Chain A
């Protein structure tokens, strides 16, 4: 017995495990960190990895970044001015970074300072810097007295850097800044012993870069950038799932898809092979990921008992109201009767004629006969009401409002066989209608295709109709002639008629009543709210290898790597291929290393050395690298100070190992005309 129990539990757990659910993690607003005096007085460098996905901020003395937030701003819409209220509507607070607790509710108001991987919107950047410095607790007046290490895009355009420097120096009054490229920081400083030659593959949120490093020098000329990244994968997967489950289109949100990318998505070492495996039914069943969407069970959940109870309650209230009304009426009638009887008494005691008439007119009566009639009527009415009250009080307990009958009540049959034959008949009729509908639909489809019998027949009739034969055109003499237009019309003669649909509904209703088992099973509300993610978990990340899947004409990642290698000298190619370093958020995808290795071996010469290394903790390496950069003694050499900034132009910056290369922006062509 025990064993059985155990097995049941295991099976139950397995079933449970198969079904995943979205966690829908929400951001927790950042705390405001304390700004200690040691930070304040020693002008400790501040390291900001300003990524297009997540911004990471920390002091150079920190072990890990203090702040990590999405580089996003949400500007809630202004509330409309209402007519009744006098007060001015408050402009809602701007939500920045982790203030945005639920991204999905703000999706349409989101803004970022980035255009692709370059900062272009500096007003937004200003808000994000405000957020950053506020949450670090900085309280010095009119300046942020710390040198800044800031990451920027590979080959960041001069104009973008210029605006950034202007913002930093003129708005925040920082003493100095050093710009660097995120992936170069990770390569040069986040590793114990970086080799002199490497091919960096940086897989970002907006873009991917393939950067050759030769003799510790970044080879800017041969670097290539793929304009595809995590964001493209997320939107691609989002759209696939929405199209697969149109009914749940709104429940499939971008953040949920992002969660899928982080949890179940993987890169297939061999995509074709993986696809072939999925065609196998068993493999499909074993590997499919079922994800339960949240759902609320509909009103059906009320049990029959509850429904009955509710109805009973309603009926009781009704009878109570009725009883009260009756009693009121009774009291009213009795009062009137009393008054009339008094009048009668007065008359009986022989009152004056004038007086009698006066009283009678008061009661809107003409003469004594009418008075007597009215008294009689009232007596009868009172008697009736009394009887009704009596009857109601007797019934009240027993009365049960009849159960509302379904449209087609359950018929009673003498025997099971009669029921069966009736059911079979109904089923047959239903099936007939269904097939008729199907046939019609098929015909409708066929008629518009060439090379189908129906289509060809239609064309034949049309051409015959169009043919003009002189003399013997007797078309239209008989009414049936016109029927030919019906057969060639879009509907192919007859369409799903109303009566037929009604009949179908009726039959289904009857079947549901008499044979509920057929319809009830299989309609599980929970199952209806499940997403089945199979090939999609490989298909979406495959986008970085096959950008053409989303209509881009760019080469895929492996092809770009091959292209970049081909641009380098043959002896360098060997060195680069033997040290490929992968970094960036997407590098976490399982299977990436095998895939790159396989693709690279296939394009490299036979038996040449190929090594691929995925950086550890690749989400944070660029921040760590930038921090290590500040810990090297000579980092202050590479700081762009305010003086230099003013002297050498606003776009100038100091080059270093992990930085971009500086090309001064040339003056616009001015044609000098000698006079």
Chain B
């Protein structure tokens, strides 16, 4: 019980001492994440004119994404079929083929190009 006492002592004076987060069954509170909040908000029957957090997301891009080299960031006309990395010139290619797997995988995840289909 000592820890409980300590907690009470530490509580700043300006706080209402009785206040405590708890559920009905006195379990520790689990906070909903933003995604959960959005989905539960969406499920409600809002009037038509209402806008809420989940409805103002930016639209998907309508422009085709440009291709940039994973290593240098330069415009990349080529893709290595083995590693799927993009590269801009032969010097980059030379360094690229020496890269270990974890680095090439790192570049791909950074670009979000890890799906097998893409």
Interface residues, chain A, CB within 8 Å of chain B?
91, 115-116, 118, 120-123, 126, 130, 133-134, 138-144, 153-160, 170-173, 220-221, 223-227, 236, 239-240, 242-244, 246, 272, 275, 278-279, 445, 448-449, 535-536, 538-539, 546-556, 559-560, 563, 661, 663, 665-666, 668-669
A555 touches B58 (CB 8 A): yes
For B75, give the chain A residue with the smallest CB separation.
Answer: A275
Q: Pick the contact of B15 from A118, A142, A445, A559 — CB < 8 Å? A: A142
B31 touches A121 (CB 8 A): yes
Bound-complex Cα distance A141 to B19 (A)? 14
Contacts of B74 in A (CB 8 A): 275, 278-279, 535
A555 touches B110 (CB 8 A): no
A120 touches B33 (CB 8 A): yes
Contacts of B12 in A (CB 8 A): 130, 133-134, 138
**Residue interface mask B20-59, A partner, CB < 8 A = 1:** 0100000001011110011011001111011111001111
For B105, give the chain A residue with the smallest CB separation.
Answer: A243
For A540, give the chain B residue with the smallest CB separation.
Answer: B73
Contacts of A546 in B (CB 8 A): 65-66
B72 touches A663 (CB 8 A): no
Q: Pick the contact of B59 from A121, A143, A156, A560 — CB < 8 Å? A: A560
| Chain B nearest CB, measured from A316 CB (Å) | 49
Q: Pick the contact of B16 from A154, A172, A556 — CB < 8 Å? A: A172
Tell me if B111 counts as interface (CB < 8 A to partner A). Answer: yes
Tell me if B103 counts as interface (CB < 8 A to partner A). Answer: yes
A122-B31, A226-B58, A246-B103 given; A172·B14 CB < 8 A: yes
Tell me if B77 counts as interface (CB < 8 A to partner A). Answer: no
A120-B32, A226-B58, A559-B63 given; A140·B13 CB < 8 A: yes
Tell me if B68 counts as interface (CB < 8 A to partner A). Answer: yes
Q: Pick the contact of B34 from A115, A133, A173 — CB < 8 Å? A: A115
Contacts of B41 in A (CB 8 A): 157-159
Contacts of B21 in A (CB 8 A): 122-123, 126
B56 touches A157 (CB 8 A): no
For A236, give the chain B residue with the smallest CB separation.
Answer: B110
Contacts of B61 in A (CB 8 A): 547-548, 553-556, 559
B73 touches A550 (CB 8 A): no
Chain B binding site: helix, strand, loop or mixed by DSSP? loop
Bound-complex Cα distance A548 to B111 (A)? 7
Please tell me the size bucket of the interface on B: 35 or more
For A242, give the chain B residue with the smallest CB separation.
Answer: B106
Highest count of chain A CB atoms <10 Å: which of B3, B21, B46, B73: B73
**Residue interface mask B55-93, A partner, CB < 8 A = 1:** 011111111011010011111000000100000000000
B3 touches A91 (CB 8 A): yes
A445 touches B44 (CB 8 A): no
Contacts of A134 in B (CB 8 A): 12
A535 touches B53 (CB 8 A): no
Bound-complex Cα distance A240 to B113 (A)? 15
| Chain A nearest CB, measured from B32 CB (Å) | 6
Bound-complex Cα distance A54 to B46 (A)? 33
A130 touches B15 (CB 8 A): yes
B14 touches A118 (CB 8 A): no
Contacts of B13 in A (CB 8 A): 139-142
Contacts of B52 in A (CB 8 A): 155, 157, 663
Contacts of B38 in A (CB 8 A): 157
Contacts of B111 in A (CB 8 A): 549-551
Contacts of B75 in A (CB 8 A): 272, 275
| Chain A nearest CB, measured from B111 CB (Å) | 6
| Chain B nearest CB, measured from A119 CB (Å) | 10
Q: Pick the contact of A155 from B3, B31, B56, B65 — CB < 8 Å? A: B56
For B108, give the chain A residue with the smallest CB separation.
Answer: A551
| Chain B nearest CB, measured from A276 CB (Å) | 8
Q: Pick the contact of B112 from A121, A130, A153, A551 — CB < 8 Å? A: A551
A225 touches B57 (CB 8 A): yes
Contacts of A448 in B (CB 8 A): 82
Bound-complex Cα distance A547 to B61 (A)? 9
Q: Pick the contact of A156 from B19, B53, B63, B107 — CB < 8 Å? A: B53
Bound-complex Cα distance A498 to B54 (A)? 62
Bound-complex Cα distance A669 to B44 (A)? 7
**Closest 5 pairs (CB-CB, A-B):** A551-B112, A115-B34, A548-B65, A171-B19, A555-B61
Bound-complex Cα distance A142 to B29 (A)? 23
Contacts of B57 in A (CB 8 A): 224-225, 227, 554
B106 touches A239 (CB 8 A): yes
For A553, give the chain B residue with the smallest CB separation.
Answer: B60
B51 touches A133 (CB 8 A): no
Contacts of A236 in B (CB 8 A): 110
Bound-complex Cα distance A173 to B33 (A)? 26
| Chain A nearest CB, measured from B107 CB (Å) | 6
For B15, give the chain A residue with the smallest CB separation.
Answer: A171
Contacts of B82 in A (CB 8 A): 448-449
Bound-complex Cα distance A155 to B41 (A)? 12
Bound-complex Cα distance A317 to B41 (A)? 80
Contacts of A223 in B (CB 8 A): 51, 56
Bound-complex Cα distance A227 to B50 (A)? 21
Contacts of B40 in A (CB 8 A): 159
Q: Mind listing 14 A-B residue pairs with CB under 8 Å?
A: A130-B12, A133-B14, A139-B14, A142-B13, A142-B14, A155-B56, A156-B53, A157-B52, A172-B15, A221-B51, A539-B68, A559-B61, A663-B46, A669-B45
Contacts of A539 in B (CB 8 A): 68, 73
A118 touches B37 (CB 8 A): yes
A560 touches B58 (CB 8 A): yes
B73 touches A275 (CB 8 A): yes
Contacts of A120 in B (CB 8 A): 31-34, 37
Bound-complex Cα distance A367 to B68 (A)? 101
A666 touches B45 (CB 8 A): yes
A535 touches B15 (CB 8 A): no
A549 touches B68 (CB 8 A): yes
Contacts of B49 in A (CB 8 A): 221
Contacts of B33 in A (CB 8 A): 115, 120
* New A-B pairs, 8, CB < 8 Å, besides A142-B17, A555-B59: A116-B34, A141-B14, A159-B32, A171-B16, A221-B49, A226-B58, A535-B72, A559-B62
For B43, give the chain A residue with the smallest CB separation.
Answer: A668
For B71, give the chain A residue with the smallest CB separation.
Answer: A244
Bound-complex Cα distance A48 to B13 (A)? 20
Contacts of A91 in B (CB 8 A): 3
| Chain A nearest CB, measured from B118 CB (Å) | 9
A160 touches B37 (CB 8 A): yes
| Chain A nearest CB, measured from B16 CB (Å) | 5
For A113, give the chain B residue with the smallest CB separation.
Answer: B31
B3 touches A555 (CB 8 A): no
For B7, give the chain A residue with the smallest CB separation.
Answer: A91
Highest count of chain A CB atoms <10 Å: which of B17, B33, B53, B65: B53
Bound-complex Cα distance A31 to B107 (A)? 44
Bound-complex Cα distance A220 to B52 (A)? 9
Contacts of A160 in B (CB 8 A): 37
Contacts of A143 in B (CB 8 A): 14, 16
B47 touches A663 (CB 8 A): yes
Contacts of B47 in A (CB 8 A): 663, 666
A157 touches B37 (CB 8 A): yes
